Amino acid sequence: GAVVSQHPSWVICKSGTSVKIECRSLDFQATTMFWYRQFPKQSLMLMATSNEGSKATYEQGVEKDKFLINHASLTLSTLTVTSAHPEDSSFYICSAETTLRRSKNIQYFGAGTRLSVL
Amino acid sequence: DAKTTQPPSMDCAEGRAANLPCNHSTISGNEYVYWYRQIHSQGPQYIIHGLKNNETNEMASLIITEDRKSSTLILPHATLRDTAVYYCIVRVSLYNQGGKLIFGQGTELSVKP
């Protein structure tokens, strides 16, 4: 299947600082990327849908000014957690939807980023 | 959005077939059924998807009932590495580009020696 790379895999930061997470589709172009958050022993929760060259669409209850999403190219989307606080500590996962004909409409996921805010 | 219902947990003996059920009684005619799994502390892994016909790939088989209200994911020879949370998802479409995947609680499959 297609490969999605997420970086960093693990980050610790101080409260009040900002953290940027990168999501790259390595062997395909992704018009649409998605960002999820997962708390311990819970399921994945969709945060936002990111389309290349346009503003992200956020799910209800997700603060767009706190979770800044940029999808500047067909292979890269970034999520910036601004002014992070301990309650933002979570597992953040991205996915990218391939436009490859043989795998059309399949979302492939990154390995996730574990964020710990002290 | 069509919702899915899965048993919270299942056990399976190593080497035996694992049959994971999913109910999606409100599925619409143009919605696909997707299956993903998540091994602890990793991102979800795509397994298989289908519309109304049964599907098979190198990982699993997907059996969809004729009325499309339920489906079963079959792992033909389960191994210890198949221990994971399995998610059955009905996809919400965003125009022609597929769409959002809304994850439920899934089924925690434990494969035992």
Residue-wise DSSP of B8-41: SEEEEETTS-EEEEEE-TT--TTPPEEEEEE-TT
> In chain A, what residues touch B94 (CB-CB under 8 Å)?
32, 49
Q: What is the C-alpha to C-alpha distance for residues A98 and A109, in angstroms, rounded to an integer?
A: 11
β-pair type (A4-7, A19-25): antiparallel
Q: Which residue has the tokens 């209850």?
A: A61
The answer to whether A43 and A101 are in contact (CB under 8 A) is no
What pLDDT was estimated at residue A2? 80
The answer to whether A45 and A38 are in contact (CB under 8 A) is yes
Residue B5 per-residue DSSP state: B
Residue A11, CA distances (Å) to A7, A35, A116 in order: 9, 17, 6
Q: Is A4 on the interface with B (CB under 8 A)?
A: yes
Q: Comparing B85 with A51, which gets the higher pLDDT?
A: B85
> In chain B, what residues touch A31 (CB-CB under 8 Å)?
97
Q: Does B71 have pLDDT greater than 80?
A: yes
**Mean pLDDT score, B71-100:** 86
Nearest CA in chain B to A50: B100
Residue B59 per-residue DSSP state: S
N-to-C CA span, chain A: 36
Q: Does B92 have pLDDT greater than 80?
A: no
- One-character DSSP codes across A5-46: EEE-SEEEE-TT--EEEEEEESSS--SEEEEEEE-TTS--EE
Percent pLDDT > 70 in chain A is 94
Residue among A70, A76, A109 at smallest CA distance from A92: A109
What pLDDT was estimated at residue A104? 65
Burial class of residue B101, CB neighbours in 10 A (0-12, 13-18, 19+): buried
Lowest mean pLDDT among A58-67, A102-111, B7-16, B29-38: A102-111
Mean pLDDT of chain B: 91
> In chain A, what residues touch B46 (CB-CB under 8 Å)?
1, 106-109
Stated length of chain A:
118
For residue A45 the two structure tokens come to 């929760």
Q: SS3 sequence, A57-90? A: EECCCCCCCCEEEEEEECCEEEEEECCCCHHHCE
N-to-C CA span, chain B: 38
Q: Is B43 on the interface with A (CB under 8 A)?
A: yes
**Mean pLDDT score, A55-71:** 93
Amino acid at B44: P
